[in-house]
Amino acid sequence: AAKAERRGSCRAFEASMDEAAQEKNQLEQDFRVAISGGELEVHYQPLVNLSTGEVECYEALLRWNHPRRGLVPPDVFVPLAEEMGAIDQIGRFVLFEACKEAAGWPEHIKIAVNVSPLQFRNGKLLSTVINALSTSGLSAERLELEITEAVLMEKGPRTAAIIRNLRAFGIGISLDDFGTGYSSLSYLLNYPFTKIKIDKAFILNLHREANSRAVIRAVIGLGKSLGLTVAAEGIEREFERDYLRDEGCTQGQGYLFGKPGHARTLAISGAGTA
Ligand code: C2E
Ligand code: MG
Ligand code: MG
Ligand code: MG
């Protein structure tokens, strides 16, 4: 009986694997349609100066408006795109969209775009970025690229060279989600970062964990002494903003200041959104 039961649960397992595989297949198919069919859109979330409250930058965050499933989050479809070999195409789309949009904003407002580690692999990132800048007319100083440690773990001299070249053009380089990975301090010394973004996990726990506050203070101190802008993500409450500001954090991002929204919903004075 035990054997039969095992066989049964094995079949159930296989069936559910099958279902999962089919589901994923379907999602992949849908995603190909999404890329060509205009179901992808870029939303924008403000980063504000914590001392003045002024918006200094918007981060471009990709959204997939699925006709049946509704909004599919990037944590789901970005890995899917990476697996399908579609991340370059998508990365290019976000860069061109975001630069075009930002070119209509007041000069002092920057645009931040997330870049996947895989976009560093085929050697085309630099030319894609330069192309997006020249097509949109946006100056390089107004563009920031957000990368995670996963990019730096690619090792290889090419990754470092690409980052240096981007920086040499005047483009800002932010280290995203800082504190969650290996957070090797040597990264901060060996790459020309202009900004560190403290991961939202630390801000979430700020109110109840002395350890989170210790990490936050240490990262702010480190960033400041290296001459970097220090930003914190995931700020939802006033006391989090106050704490970060008082500790010397430069910029804040989070629902307290604004959720990611479509370009036409942004209240940017003097913005020429089409
Ligand atoms: P990220 O770059 O760390 O972006 C910050 C995430 O935190 C965003 O999630 C944002 O909506 C969310 N967030 C901002 N403020 C708050 C807050 O106050 N509370 C909470 N709970 N969350 C907040 P989102 O838009 O779902 O994006 C998730 C991740 O997907 C991003 O993390 C980024 O790694 C990736 N991603 C998004 N767009 C792109 C893209 O165009 N290209 C690539 N390669 N990755 C992207
Ligand atoms: Mg980011
Ligand atoms: Mg982040
Ligand atoms: Mg993240």
Give the separation between CA 220 and CA 137, rounded to whole angstroms.
34
State whether the beta carbon of 97 lies less than 6 angstroms from ligand 1.
no
For the record, the structure tokens of 178 come out as 């800082």
ipTM > 0.90? yes
Q: Pick the closest to residue 63 from 97, 88, 29 (CA basis).
A: 97
DSSP result, 235-246: --SHHHHHHHHH
Beta 143-147 vs 110-114: how paired, if at all? parallel
Please name the residue whose Cα sits nearest to atom 42 of ligand 1: 114
Q: What is the pTM of this model?
A: 0.92
Model confidence over 125-180: pLDDT tens digits?
999 999 999 999 999 999 999 999 888 887 667 889 999 999 999 999 999 999 88
Bridge partners (DSSP) listed for residue 62: 42
CA distances 138 to 109, 128, 252, Å, are: 11, 14, 24
User: How sure is the predictor about 118, in pLDDT bands with cuts at 50, 70 and 90?
Assistant: very high
Position with higher pLDDT, 6 vs 179? 179
State whether the beta carbon of 61 lies less than 6 angstroms from ligand 1.
yes
State whether the beta carbon of 94 lies less than 6 angstroms from ligand 1.
yes
Q: Compute, in angstroms, the gap from residue 271 CA to the centroid of ligand 2.
A: 23
State whether the beta carbon of 145 lies less than 6 angstroms from ligand 1.
no
Model confidence over 46-93: pLDDT tens digits?
999 999 999 999 999 999 999 898 999 999 999 999 999 999 999 999
Q: Pick the closest to residue 125 from 113, 136, 137 (CA basis).
A: 113
